[in-house]
Amino acid sequence: MCEFKVYSGPEGRQQLIAEDIINAKLDENSVVLSDILGGTTKVEGALIAEVDVKKESLRVYSSPFILDLLTFFVSCERPDGRTIDQLESAWKALKKNGDQVISSLKSAKEGA
């Protein structure tokens, strides 16, 4: 059986966050990692970036922006009367943080 070591962080600066992982799934606002003994590790605001079976490694990418994105996606999946407000709120948070990311990238480019 193939158990994975799970890493987080940019290439070259990755940190080991879990070992002996046999299952990974997206659960609303986090990636839930289950190990061979039944233990779980939640990585909030994360997405799976890479799975390498040969190296038995899995890499996740996490950021506050992804948390906003996942909240928006979950709100989209439940379009009933009471979640329209949640959907609108999630969209506003996502857009606000997206605008901040773009603004900071522009500032960094202008300063370079």
Mean pLDDT calculated for residue range 57-74: 86
pLDDT band at 106, cuts 50/70/90?
A: very high
Kindly tell me if the per-residue pLDDT of 103 is higher than 70.
Answer: yes
Of 75 and 24, the one with more pLDDT: 24
**What CA–CA distances, in Å, run from 55 to 7, 14, 30, 33, 39?**
12, 15, 24, 18, 22
Domains of the chain: which residue ranges? 4-62, 65-111
pLDDT band at 81, cuts 50/70/90?
A: low
pTM: 0.75
Mean pLDDT calculated for residue range 83-91: 81
Share of the chain above pLDDT 90, in %: 47
